[in-house]
Amino acid sequence: MTDPGAAGSAALGIDIGGTKVAGGVVAPDGTVLATARRATPGSSVRQTEDAIAAVVDELAAAHDGDLVGVGVGAAGWFDRTGDTVLFSPHLAWRNSTLRKDLAVRLQRPLWVGNDADAAAWAEYRYGAARGADLALVITLGTGIGGGIVLDGRLRRGSHGVAGEWGHMRVVPDGRLCACGNRGCWEQYASGNALGQTAREVAHTSPAAAGRLLERVDGQADRLTGEDVARAAADGDSLALELVTEVGVWLGQGIADLAAILDPEVVVIGGAVSQLGDMVLDPARQRLARALPGRGFRPGPRVVVAELGPQAGLVGAADLVRQAVAEGEA
């Protein structure tokens, strides 16, 4: 495998999530040299592409002579080639030719793929999964994404959609998911899940949720996962209980993945990971109880991601640098 760092030039990484388009100029050692961002107009493909182009133009204006290419990590299911976004539960893409459209607009060497894959690659190259022979990265944000790095290669599956474990069904006929199914894991172990559970409790038992409701002027429907996370950090007992519940669901899902893939390490990234041991301790405890063959086999290490919210753009930048070095961009 070609060493991406051997290209010797900075690259531009773009991370497109459900709420923002974040970009950064990234050096070969993973250092982020400059950043820019725009809101994600999730209901419009064209406007989302406009936001991507605006971030690229802003960053390239100051660093154009140094950029080897643009890597784009987007929240969606891609085909094996990375050319087409088959489906995005939280954005407007449906069989959208994102790579082709961006290539016309940006006129630069380009890598396009799933944002969680990009984050997984970043953690393998520069972060908490360095040196692992089989690493899983689970991103906990609006939903749950993920990526697999095996033997030093990003593995995307036969059809390009490996790592979408947020849509494993964990509760038959459970909560309706944006993917169209019910009971998906991300409905119980994500930032959105944290907010939804808080809203349900606030509606059914406003007295118990009194301190949470104070944060949103008594309007239960305004509660978000971010509100609950901040309340948990401040010691609110209900918020801590809700975060623990998310952690338990997280641990159960990791146990199921470990039964299939037997990873060396599971790296937890995304916004919810910022809660640290408040969510990871109950996850580890549940994993220890739910791991098949527990007591007779080793389980994976469960660690928090090291690169934080910049993992996606760092990984996307490194992947376009690799693609250029291997003549694939």
Contacts of 230 (CB under 8 A, 6+ apart): 215
Going along the chain from its start, the domains and CATH numbers come out as 4-125+309-325 (3.30.420.40), 130-305 (3.30.420.40)
pLDDT for 8 equals 59
pLDDT for 184 equals 97
Q: Transcribe 46-99 into DSSP letters.
A: HHHHHHHHHHHHHHHHHHGGGEEEEEEEESSEE-TTSS-EEE-TTSS-EEE-HH
CA angle (179, 180, 183) in 5-degree steps:
85
pLDDT for 1 equals 45
Within 205-310, where are the H helices? 210-214, 225-233, 237-261, 277-290
Predicted confidence (pLDDT) per residue in 139-172, tens digit: 998 889 899 999 999 999 998 889 989 999 999 9
Token couple for 205? 């038992």
φ, ψ of residue 132 in degrees (nearest 5): -75, 140
Contact 23, 59 (CB under 8 A): yes
Could you list the pLDDT tens digit for every one of the 329 residues in the chain?
Answer: 445 444 458 999 999 877 789 999 999 999 999 999 998 876 788 888 999 999 999 999 988 777 999 999 988 888 888 888 888 877 778 989 989 999 999 999 999 999 999 999 999 999 999 999 999 999 998 889 899 999 999 999 998 889 989 999 999 999 999 888 999 999 999 999 999 999 999 999 999 999 999 999 999 999 999 999 999 999 999 999 999 999 999 999 999 999 999 999 999 998 899 899 999 999 999 999 999 998 899 999 999 999 998 999 999 999 999 999 998 87
* Separation of alpha carbons 229 and 237, rounded Å: 12
Token couple for 97? 């030719």
Radius of gyration of the chain measured on its C-alpha atoms: 20
pLDDT for 62 equals 85
| Other C-beta atoms lying within 10 Å of the C-beta of residue 81 | 11
CA angle (84, 85, 89) in 5-degree steps:
170
* Separation of alpha carbons 257 and 68, rounded Å: 36
* Separation of alpha carbons 138 and 125, rounded Å: 16
- What proportion of the chain, given as a percentage, has pLDDT over 70? 97
Beta pairing, strands 67-74 & 10-16: parallel
Single-letter amino acid, residue 35:
T
Contact 119, 73 (CB under 8 A): yes
* Separation of alpha carbons 241 and 232, rounded Å: 8
pLDDT for 81 equals 81
* Separation of alpha carbons 153 and 49, rounded Å: 28
Contact 91, 52 (CB under 8 A): no
